[in-house]
Structure 1
Amino acid sequence: MDTADTPTEEVTRLPLKALGIRTGMALQTRRLVEGASKKESQFYGAIEGKGVMVGPLGTEGTKTELEEGEVCVVRGFTGQYEFSFLSKVLQTFEKPFAYALLAYPAMVDAKLVRHSMRVKTSWPTTVLQPGKDGAATPQALDVTLIDISMSGTMIKAPTALAAIGEVLTLSMDAIVDNMPVRLTLAGKVCHNNRAGGEDAFCIGLAFTNLTQQDKLLLNYLLQGPITG
């Protein structure tokens, strides 16, 4: 989703732990040998200064396709940063599950792509469109929120809803501390594209005029499973 976040092409050097990589996050690994192909992998965990554990993606994976003593390149995306680093394969294991232990990198190459973390969801939401043809009352339409961050969201709707630059109002019901809460947010349309192969549109919105209360509620919701 593209919102008000402004991507940067600048690559910086960061400690691995600064990226906030979570267990299960998808990675790509590739041995640095001629003809080697990329392997879809996942992050299992890391011990700072000692090693990084990666394994095949999915429960059916049985091989890492990495060889002990070789150097590999690891690439991934945290939701905010695209990152990569080179590492030596220290050991490989098959039991109790397949994984490789890589040397812990002192620093990684990272590029900030999004200023705030996106959380994928499927959250029934109501969008209020400005009244059309002189109508004073906004039109309410049921849509689905499919990801959200502190700066914006993407919704899936049956129509294009509005032109780029127009402002829509979202009304969302959530549960906070076991209490129902209604969150009403305004968002400017940043992009509006037909969902591939579906009779629907994916619409990216950048939040505008967030109050302190809006920010507190969004931050709370982004810390755990979003439920309406």
Structure 2
Amino acid sequence: MDDSGLHAPAQNREYAFPSMKLKIGDRLQLQLPPPLAQEKHTVRLIGYCEGVSLLVMPPHGFAMKLVEGENIVVRFFSGEHVFGFTSTLDHIVRIPFEYLHLSFPEKVQGVRIRKFPRIQTRLDATVSSAALDGHPLSCTISDISISGASLLAEADLGKEGENVIVSAKLEVLGNPHELELNEAIRSCSGKGEEERHYGIEFQKMDAGHKLVLSSFIYQESLEEI
């Protein structure tokens, strides 16, 4: 597996707000301030006045817990870019229905989904193959890129060169996705030890899975935006 360039940091740069091409109804990811920041929440954009304010629906069940004046990190995933910016919660409207006024972003950071870094993660997954007689084995994805991943497993998942199917659940913008990827084992180490390490390469990923995986990778790698 060729990992050249995969460990390079994502090249994010500043974009103009119109570059996001936001539309009414688009889903945005909000990262709330402490102590509400443990989870990310998906909301709908219901309008904006450029240079003035963004209008979004509140995270379900959280409107009463939010405080005006707090900063909120906003992320948006398009088909080609991942964008992020910080807004201030200017006002909470409660009548006739709840929605939030967020300050218009002074600057927007973004990354074009083109070169994909390898990110560290701890994803539960299962591996199946003809050699395993249809009995999936549990493993952990310890890092992942658009071209491959590293697996940790207590069981023997197969030999170098063998094809396997790895299944895992990802969350992108608060929405769950199930991936089932055809992969080839490229390396194996730690035989005879309590935990074995496998390097795998993805084979012929379809466009839908590629978009979900690339969005997940950039979602995780742009936490600081």
What TM-score, normalized to structure 2?
0.47
More helix by share: 2
